[in-house]
C-alpha cells in the first residue's frame, strides 16, 4: 500500500511517499481502509524528532494521527465493529499511521463516524476533539457558570474547545487575529482578544480555567489571569511529574526540572498546573459523536488536499494560519 513515511528525524524534512506492507490485524484490531486523514502540529513535531525520547518510534514508520474510513476486516475478539462500518479514530501512540491507504487500529480507540459528517469532516475531529474533552471535562472539570480562557481560538483545538466549553455552560474568552474574530464569535466565544493588538493578561482576570497551547511566556501570563483555585491545562508543555511517572527515571528527573518553575509559580498563586498529552479513547470519541450528531459541535475544516500532496498540506499547517483543521483525502 502507499504511505507517507518518516525515514529519519529532521526538521522540515519531507515525508517519503513509498510502498509498505499492509498492516497485520491483531485479535483486538480493526483493519480500516482510509478515506481521509487530518494533520496536526504533532505530526510535524514527531517528524522533527521533538518527541523521540517520549515516543521512540522505530524508523521507518508511517506518520499521521487522525483517520476516518471503512472497516474491511476485524480481529477474532472484536465484537463492536464489523466490516462495512464507517469509523473515525485517533490511533494510540506507538500505532499511528494515518497517512496511508490502510491502518490497523485497536478497537478500543475507534468510534462510529458521525452520520451527519463527510469522511473529510470526520477525520478532522479525533485528536483535537479528544484533546479538548480531556482538557476541559477530565482535567479542568469545567462547570456551568465558570469562566475559561482558550488560547488560539481559530486553531484546530481552539475551534473545538470553544464549542465544547459553551455546551458545558461556561463563559469563553479566546485569543486570535483580527481576521478570525467573527469566526470564533460564531463558534460561541464571548470575549475575543486580538493578540496582535491587546495583551490578554491585561484584559482578563478571575478566570477558573485556562487552556494553553502556546509558548512558556504565554503560559506564565495564563497563570496570572486565573483566580485562586483555578487550573491551567497546557497541551504545549512543559510536561509535569504526573506525565513523567511511566517514563524512565532519567526522563522523570529532567521533566521535573523543566516544569519546576511553572509548578512553583502556580502553587504560590494557589492554582493548579496540569500538562496534557492526549490519549486515544474510543469511548470518549463516541460521546463526542453524540454532540456532533445533535448539532452541538460542528467541524471547522480550512482546506482539503489530495493524498499525494500530504507534504504540501503539512507545510501549510506549519505556517500557523489554518482556520480549524487541514485534511488529506486518501480514497
Residue entry with cell 476533539: 129
Q: What is the pLDDT of residues 89-146, one digit of tens each?
A: 999 999 999 999 999 999 999 999 999 999 999 999 999 999 999 999 999 999 999 9
Characterize 161-185 residue by residue with b for buried, 16 or more Cβ atoms within 10 angstroms of its Cβ, and e for exposed: bbbbbbbbebbbbbbbbeebbebbb
Lowest mean pLDDT segment, chosen from 70-74, 177-181, 253-257, 319-323: 253-257
Cβ neighbour number for residue 144 with a 10 Å cutoff: 9
Q: Are the C-beta atoms of 243 and 277 separated by less than 8 Å?
A: yes
What pLDDT band is residue 288 in, cutting at 50, 70 and 90? very high
In whole angstroms, give the CA distance from residue 308 to residue 17: 8
Whole-model pTM? 0.96
The pLDDT of residue 116 is 98
Query: Among 214, 277, 282, 212, which Cα is nearest to 53's?
Result: 277
Query: Among 182, 216, 221, which Cα is nearest to 198's?
Result: 221
In whole angstroms, give the CA distance from residue 7 to residue 62: 9
Domains, the chain: 2-124+300-329 (3.90.180.10), 128-275 (3.40.50.720)
Query: Among 36, 37, 54, 33, which Cα is nearest to 45's?
Result: 54
DSSP E strands, the chain: 2-6, 16-19, 29-39, 61-62, 66-74, 86-89, 102-106, 110-112, 147-150, 171-176, 191-194, 207-212, 226-234, 272-275, 301-306, 325-329
- Indicate whether 252 pLDDT > 90: no
Q: What is the pLDDT of residues 262-281, one digit of tens each?
A: 899 999 999 999 999 999 99
In whole angstroms, give the CA distance from residue 239 to residue 259: 6
Transcribe 127-156 into DSSP letters.
HHHHHHHIIIIIIS---TT-EEEESSTTSH
How is residue 41 written as a grid cell?
Answer: 502540529
Angstrom CA distances, 201 to 155, 158, 193, stand at 20, 18, 10
Q: What is the pLDDT of residues 197-230, one digit of tens each?
A: 999 999 999 999 999 999 989 999 999 999 999 9
Amino acid at each position: 500500500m502507499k504511505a507517507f513515511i518518516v525515514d529519519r528525524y529532521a526538521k522540515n524534512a519531507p515525508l517519503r511517499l513509498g510502498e509498505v506492507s499492509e498492516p497485520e490485524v491483531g485479535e483486538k484490531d480493526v483493519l480500516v481502509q482510509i478515506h481521509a486523514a487530518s494533520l496536526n502540529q504533532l505530526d510535524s513535531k514527531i517528524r522533527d524528532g521533538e518527541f523521540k525520547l517520549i515516543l521512540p518510534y522505530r524508523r521507518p514508520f508511517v506518520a499521521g494521527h487522525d483517520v476516518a474510513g471503512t472497516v474491511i476486516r476485524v480481529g477474532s475478539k472484536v465484537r463492536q465493529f464489523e466490516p462495512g462500518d464507517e469509523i473515525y479514530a485517533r490511533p494510540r501512540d506507538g500505532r499511528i499511521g494515518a497517512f496511508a491507504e490502510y491502518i490497523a487500529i485497536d478497537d478500543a480507540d475507534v468510534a462510529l463516524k458521525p452520520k451527519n459528517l463527510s469522511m473529510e469532516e470526520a477525520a478532522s475531529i479525533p485528536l483535537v476533539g479528544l484533546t479538548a474533552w480531556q482538557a476541559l471535562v477530565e482535567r479542568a472539570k469545567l462547570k456551568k457558570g465558570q469562566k475559561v480562557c482558550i488560547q488560539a481560538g481559530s486553531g484546530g483545538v481552539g475551534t473545538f474547545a470553544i464549542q465544547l466549553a459553551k455546551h458545558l455552560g461556561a463563559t469563553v474568552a479566546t485569543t486570535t487575529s483580527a481576521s478570525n474574530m467573527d469566526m470564533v464569535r460564531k463558534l460561541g466565544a464571548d470575549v475575543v482578544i486580538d493578540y496582535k493588538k491587546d495583551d490578554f493578561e491585561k484584559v482578563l482576570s478571575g478566570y477558573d480555567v485556562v487552556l494553553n497551547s502556546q509558548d512558556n511566556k504565554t503560559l506564565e501570563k495564563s497563570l496570572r489571569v486565573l483566580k485562586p483555585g483555578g487550573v491551567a491545562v497546557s497541551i504545549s508543555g512543559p510536561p509535569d511529574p504526573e506525565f513523567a511517572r511511566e517514563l524512565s527515571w532519567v526522563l522523570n528527573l529532567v521533566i521535573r526540572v523543566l516544569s519546576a518553575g511553572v509548578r512553583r509559580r502556580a502553587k504560590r498563586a494557589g492554582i493548579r498546573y496540569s500538562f496534557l498529552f492526549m490519549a486515544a479513547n474510543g469511548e470518549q470519541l463516541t460521546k463526542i459523536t453524540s454532540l456532533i450528531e445533535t448539532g452541538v459541535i460542528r467541524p471547522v475544516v480550512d482546506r482539503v488536499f489530495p493524498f499525494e500532496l500530504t507534504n504540501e498540506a503539512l507545510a501549510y499547517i506549519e505556517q500557523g494560519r489554518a482556520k480549524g483543521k487541514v485534511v488529506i483525502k486518501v480514497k
